[in-house]
Amino acid sequence: MVRRIVLAVVVGLVAIQLVPYRVYNPPVTLEPAWDSPETRELVSRACLDCHSNETRVPWYGRVAPFSWLVRMHVDEAREEMNLSEMDHPQEEAHEAAEEVIEREMPPAYYVLLHPEAKLSDAERRALAIGLEATLGGEEDGHHDDDHHD
């Protein structure tokens, strides 16, 4: 009985690998005009794996069912803001700096799996300032002075 259950689980895990739901990277059509190379480097470390068409997929992101979860997260992130398609409206881009300051981005689970995305307080401030300079701040276009301390 136990053998049959183990065999069924193994067959099931092998079979789900055939489901073609994995991250793909469409071409980059237009990247923002970054305010500085430092902003671009920080964005690359902390944002681009989800918010661009330049996703670097780790080994576990190629194995179902984890690949499905990674794809779902990347799809959702690209829908909110895709820094590779600035030729399309990015209505949420003005909120990027605020989400970095409020520690909503990058998400804790992402930083846990990608230690290079961990930002020091100084890097977090620099990223927020750079995102505001590159993408704009609050919807009304005014920059929040609290981000420049």
Choose among 110, 108, 142, 146: nearest CA to 128.
146
Average pLDDT over residues 141-149: 41
In-domain check, residue 10: no
- The CA distance from 86 to 90, in Å, is 7
Q: Which domain holds residue 81?
A: 22-148
Q: Please give the tally of structural domains in the chain.
A: 1
In-domain check, residue 9: no
In-domain check, residue 2: no
pLDDT at position 149 over 50: no
Average pLDDT over residues 4-24: 86
Tell me what percent of the residues of the chain surpass a pLDDT of 70.
Answer: 92
pLDDT digits (tens, 9 = 90+) for 57-85: 989 889 999 999 999 999 999 999 999 99
49 C-beta neighbours (distance < 10 Å), count: 25
Between 109 and 21, residue with greater pLDDT: 109
In-domain check, residue 132: yes
In-domain check, residue 4: no
In-domain check, residue 3: no
In-domain check, residue 61: yes
pLDDT at position 91 over 60: yes
In-domain check, residue 16: no
pLDDT of residue 139: 52
pTM score of the predicted model: 0.82
Between 21 and 44, residue with greater pLDDT: 44
Burial track 76-86 (b if 16+ CB lie within 10 A, e otherwise): ebbebbbbbbb
